[in-house]
Amino acid sequence: MNVLVIGSGGREHALCWKLSQNPTVDQILAVPGNGGTSEVARNIPLKDDDIEGLVALAKAEKVGLVVVGPEAPLVKGIADACAHAGIPCFGPDAFAAQLEGSKAFAKTIMREAGVATAAFEVFDDADAAKSYIKNHGAPLVVKADGLAAGKGVVVAKTVDEALEAIDDMMVKRSFGAAGAKVVVEDALTGEEASFLAFCDGENFALLPSAQDHKAAHEGDTGPNTGGMGAYSPAPVLPQEQYAATAELCIRPILRRLAELGHPFKGVLYAGLMFTENGPLVLEYNVRFGDPECQPLLMRLDADLLEILFACAEGRLTPDMVRVRPETALCVVIAAPGYPGAYPKGMEISGLAEADALPGVKVFQAGTAAKDDKTFTSGGRVLGVTALGLTLAEAKARAYEAVAKVHFEGCYFRRDIGDKGIARSK
């Protein structure tokens, strides 16, 4: 069978790598892919949101399953187009994908489903938003309603910071059309965790907890990024709490979307904040997180293709998802300047040496292969991922591998996993 994986990040390299372990897979097509996917898949230079082109490709290549990595094609309706063409697709339809595509939609669905989340208001007028902020006071979180590559969120400690965020998003349109509408919500304090579940429209099977690191620099300082590292499991959400947490944030959403006639098929990702009043949902994503996908798939001790097919065909059972007992940790190596402007085309050395370490896999993200060499082509370049019996051991292994990799100006956080290690003690 041929499988089409859409996307070009570390998440998609991890998906291709895991899918390639199934002997029934004849060929994996990666669109557009990267230097890493080219090792296990055939890269095809199409845009990942070219819905018409993707469906035409799937038909021409007799693709048996389409696996969607990023959110943009889902929001644009790739799953709907595949359904129309009779091609199984792992990912929700465009209506359900609004859970990620529109912060206002997500908060409204949470309210309707009875999901615990921060108090919020939605604004499409900058002056009205500013008036609310001045009356309400800080701290507040200001979110661009639409897709902004994980960067359209400002945690404002002061009223002035919140007002500046409104100007940035709604007046200057720093995030384009994504900022035409904003959500302003109460800021929550606590520790975050990511909780993902495979879903077939009605049933779900849980993945272990994970924790992302969004800030660019150590100590959770600096600008927000797409993610500088992740590990699984997250001690803030231990296994004995998975079932109860799923009843809080997974099942109510599946039930509500099914009631609305759009059963959710794919990965439902709940971003949680563990406050003194218990867990509250910060956001939903409608696909694997990046970089959470990398440690989660390192731990998955099951046939990924079977799971994805079962989700697409509505026959998922919880026992399909089996997980290795080890911890996994991923460190992202980024280009200088990321998440701002950054150079491209720098040669990367040490990949084979890092990959050869026991329990280590280097997932490539912003890379391109040329003449048996690998060059940088994006902001988040690599996701160096390692298994360990403990979080401390996984961290030590990952950073041992990181030390073997180099390109000009590369940088990475040195504290990935420290919160989890401290909590474990």
- pTM of the predicted protein model: 0.95
Average pLDDT over the chain, rounded to an integer: 96
Average pLDDT estimate for 82-88 = 98
Handedness of CA 53, 314, 309, 74 (dihedral sign): positive
Query: Residues of the chain with pLDDT > 90: what percent?
Result: 95
Q: What single DSSP character describes residue 387?
A: E
CB neighbourhood size of 37 (10 A): 30
Q: What single DSSP character describes residue 67?
A: E
Q: Give every strand in the sheet of 2-7, ordered side by side.
A: 42-43, 27-32, 2-7, 63-68, 89-90
Q: Are 287 and 91 in contact (CB under 8 A)?
A: yes
Q: Are strands 2-7 and 63-68 parallel, antiparallel or unpaired?
A: parallel
> Can you state the angle between helices 242-249 and 251-259, rounded to 10 degrees?
30
Contacts of 205 (CB under 8 A, 6+ apart): 197, 198, 307, 316, 317, 318, 319, 320, 321
Write down the residue that tokens 């979180």 correspond to: 141
Q: Domains of the chain, with CATH numbers?
A: 2-93 (3.40.50.20), 125-180 (3.30.1490.20), 191-424 (3.30.470.20)
Dist. CA 369–CA 381, nearest whole Å: 13
User: Which of 175-189, 255-269, 359-373 shows the lowest per-residue confidence on average (mean pLDDT)?
Assistant: 175-189
> pLDDT of 56-77, one tens digit each?
999 999 999 999 999 999 999 9
What confidence score (pLDDT) does residue 57 get?
98
Closest to 288 measured CA to CA, from 194, 391, 361, 215:
194
> pLDDT of 14-39, one tens digit each?
999 999 999 999 999 999 999 999 99
- Token pair recorded at residue 194: 């990511």
Q: Are strands 27-32 and 2-7 parallel, antiparallel or unpaired?
A: parallel
